[in-house]
Structure 1
Amino acid sequence: MKKILLILSFLLATTSQATIKSQIVHYEDNDVQLKGELYWDDAITGKRPGVMVVHEWWGLNDYAKKRAHKLAKAGYVAFAADMYGDDKVTRHAADAKGWMGQITANTKAWQQRALLGLAQLKNHPLVATEKLAAIGYCFGGATVIQMAYAGANLKGVASFHGSLPLAPESSKGKIKAKILAAHGAQDQFVPAEAVLDFSQSLIAAEAQWEVDIYGAASHSFTNPNSADYKIPQLKYDAQADKRSWDRLMSFFEEIF
Protein backbone atom coordinates (compact mmCIF):
# COMPACT_ATOMS: atom_id res chain seq x y z
CA MET A 1 0.00 0.00 0.00
CA LYS A 2 2.83 2.41 0.89
CA LYS A 3 4.51 1.67 -2.42
CA ILE A 4 1.26 2.37 -4.29
CA LEU A 5 0.82 5.68 -2.46
CA LEU A 6 4.39 6.68 -3.24
CA ILE A 7 3.89 5.89 -6.92
CA LEU A 8 0.64 7.86 -6.98
CA SER A 9 2.31 10.81 -5.27
CA PHE A 10 5.11 10.74 -7.81
CA LEU A 11 2.68 10.60 -10.72
CA LEU A 12 0.63 13.48 -9.32
CA ALA A 13 3.73 15.58 -8.80
CA THR A 14 4.95 14.81 -12.32
CA THR A 15 1.55 15.68 -13.78
CA SER A 16 1.51 18.96 -11.87
CA GLN A 17 4.94 19.91 -13.16
CA ALA A 18 4.02 18.95 -16.69
CA THR A 19 1.15 21.46 -16.72
CA ILE A 20 3.47 24.47 -16.46
CA LYS A 21 3.71 26.02 -19.91
CA SER A 22 6.19 28.61 -21.10
CA GLN A 23 6.40 30.94 -24.06
CA ILE A 24 9.21 33.16 -25.32
CA VAL A 25 8.04 36.72 -25.97
CA HIS A 26 9.97 39.05 -28.27
CA TYR A 27 9.44 42.78 -27.89
CA GLU A 28 11.49 45.91 -28.35
CA ASP A 29 12.33 49.27 -26.86
CA ASN A 30 13.27 51.51 -29.76
CA ASP A 31 16.15 49.60 -31.40
CA VAL A 32 16.84 47.27 -28.44
CA GLN A 33 15.56 43.73 -28.92
CA LEU A 34 14.10 42.31 -25.71
CA LYS A 35 13.17 38.69 -24.99
CA GLY A 36 11.15 37.66 -21.95
CA GLU A 37 9.43 34.42 -20.99
CA LEU A 38 5.86 33.75 -19.88
CA TYR A 39 4.85 30.91 -17.53
CA TRP A 40 1.42 29.59 -16.59
CA ASP A 41 -0.28 26.46 -15.32
CA ASP A 42 -2.32 25.02 -18.17
CA ALA A 43 -4.39 22.90 -15.76
CA ILE A 44 -6.00 26.03 -14.31
CA THR A 45 -8.97 27.37 -16.20
CA GLY A 46 -9.97 30.99 -16.54
CA LYS A 47 -8.16 34.24 -15.94
CA ARG A 48 -5.84 34.77 -12.99
CA PRO A 49 -3.56 37.49 -11.58
CA GLY A 50 -0.39 38.27 -13.49
CA VAL A 51 3.02 38.84 -11.90
CA MET A 52 6.04 40.33 -13.63
CA VAL A 53 9.49 39.20 -12.46
CA VAL A 54 12.55 41.42 -12.94
CA HIS A 55 16.03 39.92 -12.87
CA GLU A 56 19.14 40.79 -10.86
CA TRP A 57 21.88 42.91 -12.43
CA TRP A 58 23.30 39.76 -14.05
CA GLY A 59 20.56 39.83 -16.69
CA LEU A 60 17.63 37.54 -17.43
CA ASN A 61 19.21 34.28 -16.32
CA ASP A 62 17.80 31.01 -15.01
CA TYR A 63 17.29 32.35 -11.50
CA ALA A 64 14.64 34.89 -12.52
CA LYS A 65 13.01 32.29 -14.77
CA LYS A 66 12.85 29.80 -11.90
CA ARG A 67 11.06 32.38 -9.77
CA ALA A 68 8.56 32.96 -12.58
CA HIS A 69 8.08 29.20 -12.91
CA LYS A 70 7.44 28.99 -9.17
CA LEU A 71 4.82 31.71 -9.42
CA ALA A 72 3.09 29.82 -12.21
CA LYS A 73 2.95 26.75 -9.97
CA ALA A 74 1.33 28.95 -7.31
CA GLY A 75 -1.46 29.81 -9.74
CA TYR A 76 -0.32 33.04 -11.39
CA VAL A 77 0.64 33.95 -14.93
CA ALA A 78 4.24 35.08 -14.56
CA PHE A 79 6.42 37.00 -16.98
CA ALA A 80 10.20 37.06 -16.61
CA ALA A 81 10.95 40.42 -18.20
CA ASP A 82 14.15 41.43 -19.98
CA MET A 83 15.64 44.78 -18.97
CA TYR A 84 18.91 44.62 -20.94
CA GLY A 85 18.01 43.08 -24.29
CA ASP A 86 20.28 41.58 -26.94
CA ASP A 87 20.69 38.40 -24.83
CA LYS A 88 22.84 40.18 -22.27
CA VAL A 89 23.56 37.81 -19.39
CA THR A 90 26.80 37.69 -17.44
CA ARG A 91 28.56 36.29 -14.39
CA HIS A 92 31.01 39.19 -14.23
CA ALA A 93 30.26 42.09 -11.89
CA ALA A 94 31.96 44.66 -14.13
CA ASP A 95 29.66 43.81 -17.04
CA ALA A 96 26.59 43.75 -14.82
CA LYS A 97 27.46 47.08 -13.23
CA GLY A 98 27.92 48.68 -16.64
CA TRP A 99 24.67 47.36 -18.06
CA MET A 100 22.71 48.34 -14.97
CA GLY A 101 24.27 51.80 -15.03
CA GLN A 102 23.14 52.32 -18.60
CA ILE A 103 19.56 51.53 -17.62
CA THR A 104 19.40 53.47 -14.35
CA ALA A 105 21.11 56.60 -15.70
CA ASN A 106 17.79 57.79 -17.14
CA THR A 107 14.92 57.15 -14.72
CA LYS A 108 12.13 57.77 -17.23
CA ALA A 109 13.70 55.43 -19.80
CA TRP A 110 14.25 52.86 -17.02
CA GLN A 111 10.58 53.04 -16.04
CA GLN A 112 9.46 52.93 -19.66
CA ARG A 113 11.35 49.74 -20.39
CA ALA A 114 9.91 48.09 -17.31
CA LEU A 115 6.41 49.15 -18.32
CA LEU A 116 6.95 47.59 -21.75
CA GLY A 117 7.55 44.31 -19.96
CA LEU A 118 4.36 44.78 -17.97
CA ALA A 119 2.47 45.29 -21.23
CA GLN A 120 3.63 41.86 -22.46
CA LEU A 121 2.19 40.26 -19.33
CA LYS A 122 -1.03 42.21 -19.58
CA ASN A 123 -1.56 41.09 -23.16
CA HIS A 124 -1.69 37.39 -22.25
CA PRO A 125 -5.29 36.11 -22.61
CA LEU A 126 -5.18 34.30 -19.25
CA VAL A 127 -4.28 37.40 -17.26
CA ALA A 128 -6.90 39.25 -15.22
CA THR A 129 -5.69 42.70 -16.24
CA GLU A 130 -7.09 44.39 -13.15
CA LYS A 131 -4.93 42.11 -10.96
CA LEU A 132 -1.28 42.79 -11.71
CA ALA A 133 1.85 42.86 -9.57
CA ALA A 134 5.62 42.96 -10.07
CA ILE A 135 8.49 41.50 -8.10
CA GLY A 136 12.22 41.95 -8.52
CA TYR A 137 15.59 40.94 -7.15
CA CYS A 138 18.49 43.34 -6.49
CA PHE A 139 18.44 45.60 -9.58
CA GLY A 140 15.03 44.11 -10.32
CA GLY A 141 13.80 45.14 -6.88
CA ALA A 142 14.71 48.75 -7.60
CA THR A 143 13.06 48.41 -11.00
CA VAL A 144 9.66 47.35 -9.69
CA ILE A 145 9.77 50.17 -7.14
CA GLN A 146 10.40 52.57 -10.01
CA MET A 147 7.32 51.12 -11.71
CA ALA A 148 5.31 52.03 -8.63
CA TYR A 149 6.77 55.56 -8.68
CA ALA A 150 5.74 55.84 -12.34
CA GLY A 151 2.12 55.31 -11.28
CA ALA A 152 1.76 51.91 -12.96
CA ASN A 153 -1.61 50.21 -12.57
CA LEU A 154 -0.30 47.55 -10.23
CA LYS A 155 -1.89 46.18 -7.11
CA GLY A 156 1.52 45.74 -5.55
CA VAL A 157 5.26 45.48 -6.03
CA ALA A 158 7.77 43.48 -4.01
CA SER A 159 11.50 44.10 -3.86
CA PHE A 160 13.93 41.45 -2.61
CA HIS A 161 17.33 42.83 -1.55
CA GLY A 162 16.79 45.77 -3.89
CA SER A 163 18.62 49.10 -3.81
CA LEU A 164 15.51 50.97 -2.53
CA PRO A 165 15.42 54.16 -4.63
CA LEU A 166 13.81 57.15 -2.93
CA ALA A 167 10.30 58.19 -3.90
CA PRO A 168 10.46 61.49 -5.81
CA GLU A 169 8.40 64.43 -4.61
CA SER A 170 6.39 64.25 -7.83
CA SER A 171 5.03 60.82 -6.80
CA LYS A 172 3.18 62.17 -3.76
CA GLY A 173 -0.34 60.77 -3.72
CA LYS A 174 0.16 59.07 -7.10
CA ILE A 175 1.58 55.68 -6.13
CA LYS A 176 -1.12 53.10 -6.80
CA ALA A 177 0.81 49.95 -5.90
CA LYS A 178 1.33 48.75 -2.36
CA ILE A 179 5.05 48.34 -1.76
CA LEU A 180 6.71 45.41 0.01
CA ALA A 181 10.48 45.39 0.50
CA ALA A 182 12.37 42.39 1.87
CA HIS A 183 15.78 43.47 3.15
CA GLY A 184 18.74 41.82 4.87
CA ALA A 185 20.06 43.63 7.94
CA GLN A 186 23.59 42.53 6.98
CA ASP A 187 23.32 43.94 3.44
CA GLN A 188 26.56 45.87 2.92
CA PHE A 189 25.36 47.42 -0.34
CA VAL A 190 22.19 48.92 1.17
CA PRO A 191 22.95 50.06 4.74
CA ALA A 192 20.45 50.91 7.45
CA GLU A 193 20.63 54.62 6.62
CA ALA A 194 19.44 53.92 3.08
CA VAL A 195 16.52 51.86 4.40
CA LEU A 196 15.52 54.72 6.71
CA ASP A 197 15.72 57.29 3.92
CA PHE A 198 13.63 55.02 1.69
CA SER A 199 11.00 54.61 4.39
CA GLN A 200 10.81 58.34 5.05
CA SER A 201 10.44 59.08 1.34
CA LEU A 202 7.49 56.67 1.13
CA ILE A 203 5.85 58.36 4.10
CA ALA A 204 6.23 61.72 2.37
CA ALA A 205 4.81 60.21 -0.84
CA GLU A 206 1.75 58.94 1.08
CA ALA A 207 2.38 55.42 -0.19
CA GLN A 208 1.19 52.16 1.35
CA TRP A 209 4.38 50.30 2.19
CA GLU A 210 6.13 47.72 4.33
CA VAL A 211 9.79 46.89 4.88
CA ASP A 212 10.60 43.45 6.31
CA ILE A 213 14.12 43.15 7.71
CA TYR A 214 15.78 39.76 8.15
CA GLY A 215 18.41 40.02 10.86
CA ALA A 216 21.02 37.52 9.66
CA ALA A 217 20.54 38.05 5.93
CA SER A 218 23.03 39.63 3.53
CA HIS A 219 22.64 40.92 0.00
CA SER A 220 21.21 38.40 -2.48
CA PHE A 221 19.83 36.28 0.37
CA THR A 222 17.17 34.64 -1.83
CA ASN A 223 19.54 33.24 -4.46
CA PRO A 224 20.91 29.75 -3.66
CA ASN A 225 23.69 30.34 -6.20
CA SER A 226 24.96 33.57 -4.61
CA ALA A 227 28.28 32.03 -3.60
CA ASP A 228 29.04 31.09 -7.21
CA TYR A 229 29.73 34.74 -8.03
CA LYS A 230 32.68 34.85 -5.61
CA ILE A 231 31.60 38.18 -4.11
CA PRO A 232 31.94 38.11 -0.29
CA GLN A 233 28.97 40.44 0.27
CA LEU A 234 26.58 38.00 -1.45
CA LYS A 235 25.25 35.20 0.70
CA TYR A 236 22.24 32.91 0.51
CA ASP A 237 20.06 32.58 3.62
CA ALA A 238 17.58 29.70 3.38
CA GLN A 239 15.45 30.88 6.30
CA ALA A 240 15.15 34.44 5.05
CA ASP A 241 14.44 33.13 1.55
CA LYS A 242 11.56 30.97 2.77
CA ARG A 243 10.13 33.59 5.10
CA SER A 244 10.24 36.34 2.50
CA TRP A 245 8.59 34.09 -0.10
CA ASP A 246 5.86 33.13 2.35
CA ARG A 247 5.29 36.84 3.04
CA LEU A 248 5.05 37.44 -0.71
CA MET A 249 2.34 34.79 -1.00
CA SER A 250 0.33 36.36 1.80
CA PHE A 251 0.92 39.81 0.26
CA PHE A 252 -0.61 38.55 -2.98
CA GLU A 253 -3.59 37.18 -1.10
CA GLU A 254 -4.10 40.64 0.39
CA ILE A 255 -3.80 42.68 -2.79
CA PHE A 256 -5.66 40.26 -5.09
Structure 2
Amino acid sequence: MNTPRSDHIPQEAFDWYDEYAHGLIDRRTFMRKLSGLAVLGFSISVLTSVLLPDYARAEQVSFNDEDIKATYEEFDSPDGHGKGRGYLVVPSNVSGKLPVVLVVHENRGLNPYIKDVARRLAKVGFIAFAPDALFPLGGYPGNDDEGRAMQKTMDQAKIQNDFVAAAHFLKSHPNSNGKLGAVGFCFGGYVVNYLAAVDPNLLNAGVPFYGTPAAENLRKNIKAPLLIQLGELDKRVNDTWPEYERGLDANNVEYTMHMYEGAHHGFHNDSTARYDEANAELAWQRTIEFFNHKLT
Protein backbone atom coordinates (compact mmCIF):
# COMPACT_ATOMS: atom_id res chain seq x y z
CA MET A 1 0.00 0.00 0.00
CA ASN A 2 1.44 3.38 -1.00
CA THR A 3 1.31 6.21 1.51
CA PRO A 4 -0.09 9.39 -0.07
CA ARG A 5 2.00 12.52 -0.11
CA SER A 6 0.74 15.17 2.27
CA ASP A 7 0.06 17.55 -0.62
CA HIS A 8 -2.34 14.96 -2.07
CA ILE A 9 -4.48 14.83 1.07
CA PRO A 10 -7.48 17.19 1.03
CA GLN A 11 -7.14 20.25 3.25
CA GLU A 12 -10.27 19.20 5.11
CA ALA A 13 -8.41 16.24 6.59
CA PHE A 14 -5.80 18.53 8.13
CA ASP A 15 -8.53 20.84 9.44
CA TRP A 16 -10.35 17.90 11.03
CA TYR A 17 -7.13 16.67 12.63
CA ASP A 18 -6.53 20.16 14.05
CA GLU A 19 -10.05 20.18 15.50
CA TYR A 20 -9.51 16.72 16.99
CA ALA A 21 -6.07 17.57 18.39
CA HIS A 22 -7.47 20.62 20.14
CA GLY A 23 -10.55 18.96 21.59
CA LEU A 24 -13.11 20.58 19.29
CA ILE A 25 -14.29 17.18 18.05
CA ASP A 26 -13.86 13.73 19.57
CA ARG A 27 -11.99 10.82 18.02
CA ARG A 28 -15.18 9.14 16.79
CA THR A 29 -16.23 12.27 14.90
CA PHE A 30 -12.72 12.69 13.50
CA MET A 31 -12.68 9.12 12.20
CA ARG A 32 -16.19 9.45 10.78
CA LYS A 33 -15.17 12.56 8.87
CA LEU A 34 -12.07 10.82 7.53
CA SER A 35 -14.17 7.91 6.35
CA GLY A 36 -15.99 10.30 4.04
CA LEU A 37 -12.79 10.60 2.01
CA ALA A 38 -13.03 6.96 0.99
CA VAL A 39 -14.81 8.01 -2.19
CA LEU A 40 -11.61 9.83 -3.15
CA GLY A 41 -9.59 6.64 -2.78
CA PHE A 42 -8.15 7.18 0.70
CA SER A 43 -8.44 4.43 3.31
CA ILE A 44 -8.75 5.24 7.00
CA SER A 45 -5.56 3.32 7.82
CA VAL A 46 -3.57 5.25 5.24
CA LEU A 47 -4.92 8.64 6.33
CA THR A 48 -4.30 8.02 10.02
CA SER A 49 -0.78 6.75 9.32
CA VAL A 50 -0.06 10.08 7.64
CA LEU A 51 -1.90 12.45 9.98
CA LEU A 52 -1.03 10.92 13.35
CA PRO A 53 2.51 11.30 14.77
CA ASP A 54 5.31 8.86 14.02
CA TYR A 55 8.03 9.81 16.47
CA ALA A 56 10.60 7.54 14.89
CA ARG A 57 10.86 10.22 12.21
CA ALA A 58 11.38 13.09 14.63
CA GLU A 59 14.90 12.50 15.95
CA GLN A 60 17.37 14.97 14.49
CA VAL A 61 19.82 14.88 17.42
CA SER A 62 20.39 11.57 19.17
CA PHE A 63 20.26 11.43 22.95
CA ASN A 64 23.65 9.70 22.63
CA ASP A 65 25.18 12.66 20.80
CA GLU A 66 28.59 13.39 22.33
CA ASP A 67 28.02 17.17 22.14
CA ILE A 68 25.18 17.14 24.67
CA LYS A 69 24.24 15.73 28.04
CA ALA A 70 20.59 15.11 28.95
CA THR A 71 19.07 14.51 32.39
CA TYR A 72 15.68 14.76 34.07
CA GLU A 73 15.45 17.43 36.74
CA GLU A 74 12.75 18.31 39.26
CA PHE A 75 11.84 21.83 40.39
CA ASP A 76 9.59 23.36 43.03
CA SER A 77 6.28 24.84 41.91
CA PRO A 78 4.44 26.08 45.02
CA ASP A 79 1.75 27.92 43.03
CA GLY A 80 1.29 25.03 40.63
CA HIS A 81 1.29 21.32 41.38
CA GLY A 82 3.99 21.53 44.05
CA LYS A 83 6.66 19.77 42.02
CA GLY A 84 7.52 19.73 38.35
CA ARG A 85 9.95 17.76 36.23
CA GLY A 86 11.57 18.37 32.89
CA TYR A 87 14.19 17.27 30.40
CA LEU A 88 17.39 19.29 30.81
CA VAL A 89 19.93 19.26 27.99
CA VAL A 90 23.27 21.02 28.26
CA PRO A 91 26.14 21.32 25.80
CA SER A 92 28.97 19.04 26.84
CA ASN A 93 31.65 20.85 24.86
CA VAL A 94 31.02 24.44 25.98
CA SER A 95 32.06 25.91 29.32
CA GLY A 96 31.18 29.11 31.15
CA LYS A 97 27.87 30.93 31.34
CA LEU A 98 25.37 30.16 28.60
CA PRO A 99 21.97 31.44 27.51
CA VAL A 100 19.04 29.27 28.56
CA VAL A 101 15.89 28.37 26.62
CA LEU A 102 12.65 26.90 27.94
CA VAL A 103 10.97 24.51 25.48
CA VAL A 104 7.21 24.17 25.86
CA HIS A 105 5.32 21.19 24.46
CA GLU A 106 1.94 20.97 22.79
CA ASN A 107 -1.27 19.98 24.61
CA ARG A 108 -0.20 16.37 25.15
CA GLY A 109 2.87 16.33 27.37
CA LEU A 110 6.59 15.94 26.80
CA ASN A 111 6.67 13.76 23.69
CA PRO A 112 9.80 12.68 21.77
CA TYR A 113 9.57 15.54 19.27
CA ILE A 114 9.78 18.18 22.00
CA LYS A 115 12.72 16.42 23.65
CA ASP A 116 14.47 16.43 20.30
CA VAL A 117 13.86 20.18 19.99
CA ALA A 118 15.60 20.62 23.36
CA ARG A 119 18.54 18.57 22.10
CA ARG A 120 18.73 20.67 18.93
CA LEU A 121 19.07 23.80 21.05
CA ALA A 122 21.81 22.29 23.22
CA LYS A 123 23.62 21.11 20.12
CA VAL A 124 24.09 24.74 19.06
CA GLY A 125 25.14 26.05 22.46
CA PHE A 126 22.06 26.74 24.60
CA ILE A 127 21.03 25.15 27.88
CA ALA A 128 17.53 23.85 27.16
CA PHE A 129 14.84 22.69 29.56
CA ALA A 130 11.58 21.04 28.47
CA PRO A 131 9.12 20.58 31.36
CA ASP A 132 6.40 17.95 31.26
CA ALA A 133 3.01 19.36 32.31
CA LEU A 134 1.83 15.78 32.86
CA PHE A 135 4.41 15.06 35.57
CA PRO A 136 1.78 15.34 38.37
CA LEU A 137 -0.15 12.52 36.64
CA GLY A 138 2.91 10.35 36.06
CA GLY A 139 4.32 12.05 32.98
CA TYR A 140 3.83 11.69 29.23
CA PRO A 141 2.18 8.26 28.81
CA GLY A 142 3.86 7.26 25.55
CA ASN A 143 1.12 8.22 23.12
CA ASP A 144 -0.45 11.53 22.20
CA ASP A 145 -4.10 10.53 22.49
CA GLU A 146 -3.76 9.53 26.12
CA GLY A 147 -1.47 12.49 26.83
CA ARG A 148 -3.99 14.90 25.34
CA ALA A 149 -6.79 13.40 27.42
CA MET A 150 -4.66 13.62 30.56
CA GLN A 151 -3.70 17.25 30.04
CA LYS A 152 -7.34 18.18 29.39
CA THR A 153 -8.26 17.03 32.92
CA MET A 154 -5.69 19.27 34.59
CA ASP A 155 -6.11 22.73 36.12
CA GLN A 156 -4.99 25.22 33.46
CA ALA A 157 -3.91 27.85 35.99
CA LYS A 158 -1.73 25.35 37.83
CA ILE A 159 -0.13 24.21 34.57
CA GLN A 160 0.69 27.81 33.72
CA ASN A 161 2.20 28.34 37.16
CA ASP A 162 4.29 25.19 36.70
CA PHE A 163 5.79 26.70 33.54
CA VAL A 164 6.44 30.00 35.33
CA ALA A 165 8.25 28.02 38.05
CA ALA A 166 10.19 26.09 35.40
CA ALA A 167 11.25 29.37 33.79
CA HIS A 168 12.60 30.68 37.10
CA PHE A 169 14.32 27.34 37.75
CA LEU A 170 16.06 27.47 34.39
CA LYS A 171 16.97 31.14 34.57
CA SER A 172 18.73 30.49 37.89
CA HIS A 173 20.68 27.47 36.60
CA PRO A 174 24.31 27.68 37.84
CA ASN A 175 25.59 27.96 34.27
CA SER A 176 22.94 30.41 33.08
CA ASN A 177 24.08 33.80 31.84
CA GLY A 178 20.84 35.21 33.26
CA LYS A 179 19.09 35.59 29.92
CA LEU A 180 16.06 33.39 29.30
CA GLY A 181 14.40 32.55 26.02
CA ALA A 182 11.32 30.42 25.46
CA VAL A 183 10.07 28.55 22.42
CA GLY A 184 6.79 26.69 22.31
CA PHE A 185 4.48 24.98 19.86
CA CYS A 186 0.67 25.16 19.72
CA PHE A 187 -0.31 25.10 23.43
CA GLY A 188 3.37 25.78 24.04
CA GLY A 189 3.16 28.83 21.78
CA TYR A 190 0.35 30.10 23.98
CA VAL A 191 2.51 29.46 27.06
CA VAL A 192 5.35 31.51 25.57
CA ASN A 193 2.91 34.38 25.00
CA TYR A 194 1.65 33.92 28.55
CA LEU A 195 5.14 33.93 30.08
CA ALA A 196 5.93 37.15 28.25
CA ALA A 197 2.73 38.73 29.55
CA VAL A 198 2.44 37.45 33.13
CA ASP A 199 5.83 38.84 34.23
CA PRO A 200 7.56 41.52 32.14
CA ASN A 201 10.92 40.68 33.72
CA LEU A 202 10.86 36.93 33.13
CA LEU A 203 11.64 36.44 29.44
CA ASN A 204 14.37 38.08 27.40
CA ALA A 205 13.07 36.64 24.14
CA GLY A 206 10.07 34.53 23.10
CA VAL A 207 9.32 32.46 20.02
CA PRO A 208 5.70 31.24 19.92
CA PHE A 209 5.01 28.82 17.07
CA TYR A 210 1.31 29.01 16.12
CA GLY A 211 0.24 29.96 19.62
CA THR A 212 -2.74 32.03 20.70
CA PRO A 213 -2.16 35.17 22.80
CA ALA A 214 -2.40 35.50 26.56
CA ALA A 215 -5.49 37.04 28.13
CA GLU A 216 -6.04 40.58 26.93
CA ASN A 217 -5.68 42.13 30.40
CA LEU A 218 -2.13 40.73 30.65
CA ARG A 219 -0.78 41.78 27.27
CA LYS A 220 0.07 45.31 28.37
CA ASN A 221 2.86 43.79 30.50
CA ILE A 222 4.82 42.36 27.55
CA LYS A 223 8.36 43.73 27.33
CA ALA A 224 10.29 40.82 25.81
CA PRO A 225 10.92 40.86 22.06
CA LEU A 226 8.87 38.23 20.23
CA LEU A 227 9.43 36.24 17.07
CA ILE A 228 6.00 34.99 16.06
CA GLN A 229 5.80 32.02 13.69
CA LEU A 230 2.48 31.29 11.92
CA GLY A 231 1.37 28.90 9.19
CA GLU A 232 -0.73 30.32 6.37
CA LEU A 233 -3.32 27.51 6.52
CA ASP A 234 -3.80 27.70 10.31
CA LYS A 235 -7.11 29.60 10.35
CA ARG A 236 -7.91 28.95 14.01
CA VAL A 237 -4.74 30.57 15.36
CA ASN A 238 -4.39 33.15 12.60
CA ASP A 239 -7.82 34.54 13.42
CA THR A 240 -6.38 35.70 16.76
CA TRP A 241 -3.44 37.51 15.20
CA PRO A 242 -4.93 40.87 14.09
CA GLU A 243 -6.13 41.74 17.59
CA TYR A 244 -2.85 40.56 19.13
CA GLU A 245 -0.88 42.61 16.62
CA ARG A 246 -2.84 45.75 17.44
CA GLY A 247 -2.11 45.28 21.13
CA LEU A 248 1.61 44.70 20.54
CA ASP A 249 1.77 47.84 18.42
CA ALA A 250 -0.17 49.88 20.98
CA ASN A 251 2.26 48.83 23.71
CA ASN A 252 5.38 49.35 21.57
CA VAL A 253 6.45 45.72 21.88
CA GLU A 254 9.36 44.67 19.67
CA TYR A 255 8.12 41.82 17.49
CA THR A 256 8.44 40.20 14.10
CA MET A 257 5.76 37.97 12.63
CA HIS A 258 6.49 35.47 9.88
CA MET A 259 3.61 33.88 7.98
CA TYR A 260 4.80 30.71 6.23
CA GLU A 261 3.17 30.21 2.87
CA GLY A 262 1.24 26.98 2.44
CA ALA A 263 2.10 25.80 5.97
CA HIS A 264 -0.31 24.04 8.31
CA HIS A 265 -0.65 24.38 12.06
CA GLY A 266 2.14 22.19 13.41
CA PHE A 267 4.35 22.66 10.36
CA HIS A 268 7.52 22.45 12.47
CA ASN A 269 6.63 19.02 13.91
CA ASP A 270 8.56 16.53 11.79
CA SER A 271 6.63 13.51 13.09
CA THR A 272 3.45 14.18 11.08
CA ALA A 273 2.40 14.94 7.52
CA ARG A 274 1.79 18.56 8.49
CA TYR A 275 5.57 18.94 8.59
CA ASP A 276 6.83 21.36 5.97
CA GLU A 277 10.57 20.85 5.75
CA ALA A 278 11.48 24.04 3.90
CA ASN A 279 9.37 26.29 6.11
CA ALA A 280 10.34 24.41 9.27
CA GLU A 281 14.05 24.78 8.52
CA LEU A 282 13.64 28.48 7.75
CA ALA A 283 11.61 29.07 10.91
CA TRP A 284 14.17 27.21 13.01
CA GLN A 285 17.08 29.11 11.47
CA ARG A 286 15.29 32.36 12.34
CA THR A 287 14.65 31.07 15.87
CA ILE A 288 18.32 30.31 16.50
CA GLU A 289 19.43 33.62 15.02
CA PHE A 290 16.89 35.46 17.17
CA PHE A 291 18.04 33.73 20.36
CA ASN A 292 21.68 34.32 19.51
CA HIS A 293 20.95 38.00 19.02
CA LYS A 294 18.79 38.48 22.11
CA LEU A 295 20.34 36.10 24.64
CA THR A 296 24.10 36.16 24.06
Task: Please give the alpha-carbon distance, in whole angstroms, between the structure 2 residues aligned to 1:95 and 1:78.
Answer: 22
Residue 127 and residue 220 in structure 1: after superposition, are their counterparts in 2 closer, same or farther (change >3 A)?
A: same
Residue 98 and residue 33 in structure 1: after superposition, are their counterparts in 2 closer, same or farther (change >3 A)?
A: same
Task: Please give the alpha-carbon distance, in whole angstroms, between the structure 2 residues aligned to 1:249 and 1:60.
Answer: 21
Among 47, 66, 73, the alignment partner of 2:116 is 66
Q: Percent identity of the aligned residues?
A: 30
Task: Please give the alpha-carbon distance, in whole angstroms, between the structure 2 residues aligned to 1:178 and 1:37.
Answer: 25
Letter in 2 for 1:35: R
Count of aligned pairs? 229
Letter in 1 for 2:276: D
What residue is the counterpart of 2:232 in the other structure? 185
What residue is the counterpart of 1:236 in the other structure? 275
* 3-state SS in 2 of match to 1:17: coil
What residue is the counterpart of 1:22 in the other structure? 70
Residue 37 and residue 170 in structure 1: after superposition, are their counterparts in 2 closer, same or farther (change >3 A)?
A: closer
5+ residue gaps in structure 1?
1-12, 228-234
* 3-state SS in 2 of match to 1:189: helix
Letter in 1 for 2:184: G
Task: For residue 247 of structure 1, report the CA deviation from its aligned partner.
Answer: 0.7
Task: Please give the alpha-carbon distance, in whole angstroms, between the structure 2 residues aligned to 1:61 and 1:94.
Answer: 12
Task: Please give the alpha-carbon distance, in whole angstroms, between the structure 1 residues aligned to 2:292 and 2:75.
Answer: 30
Which segment drifts farther, 131-140 or 113-122? 113-122
Residue 78 and residue 166 in structure 1: after superposition, are their counterparts in 2 closer, same or farther (change >3 A)?
A: closer
What residue is the counterpart of 1:249 in the other structure? 288
8 Å CA contact 1:52, 1:134 repeated in 2: yes
Task: For residue 100 of structure 1, report the CA deviation from its aligned partner.
Answer: 4.4
Instruction: Summarize the alignment of residues 1-256 of structure 1 with structure 2, pairs less than 5 Å apart.
Output: 17-30=65-78, 31=81, 33-85=83-135, 86-89=138-141, 91-93=143-145, 96=148, 99-100=151-152, 102-104=154-156, 106=157, 109-129=158-178, 131-151=179-199, 152-162=201-211, 164-166=212-214, 168-172=216-220, 174-190=221-237, 192-227=238-273, 235-256=274-295
8 Å CA contact 1:111, 1:143 repeated in 2: yes
Task: For residue 33 of structure 1, report the CA deviation from its aligned partner.
Answer: 4.3
Which structure has more RCO (C-alpha within 8 Å, separation ≥ 6)?
2
* 3-state SS in 2 of match to 1:199: helix
Residue 170 and residue 195 in structure 1: after superposition, are their counterparts in 2 closer, same or farther (change >3 A)?
A: closer
Task: Please give the alpha-carbon distance, in whole angstroms, between the structure 2 residues aligned to 1:166 and 1:55.
Answer: 16
User: C-alpha deviations, 1:110-142, integer Å up to 9, x for none?
Assistant: 44221111122123221111x111110111110
Task: Please give the alpha-carbon distance, in whole angstroms, between the structure 1 residues aligned to 2:204 and 2:106.
Answer: 22
8 Å CA contact 2:133, 2:151 repeated in 1: no
Task: For residue 90 of structure 1, report the CA deviation from its aligned partner.
Answer: 5.7
8 Å CA contact 2:113, 2:270 repeated in 1: no
8 Å CA contact 2:226, 2:255 repeated in 1: yes
Task: Please give the alpha-carbon distance, in whole angstroms, between the structure 1 residues aligned to 2:107 and 2:88.
Answer: 20
Letter in 1 for 2:292: E
8 Å CA contact 1:54, 1:83 repeated in 2: no
What residue is the counterpart of 1:232 in the other structure? none
8 Å CA contact 1:23, 1:39 repeated in 2: yes
5+ residue gaps in structure 2?
1-60
Letter in 1 for 2:265: H
TM-score (norm 2): 0.70
Task: For residue 51 of structure 1, report the CA deviation from its aligned partner.
Answer: 0.5
Task: Please give the alpha-carbon distance, in whole angstroms, between the structure 2 residues aligned to 1:254 and 1:193.
Answer: 30
8 Å CA contact 1:167, 1:205 repeated in 2: no
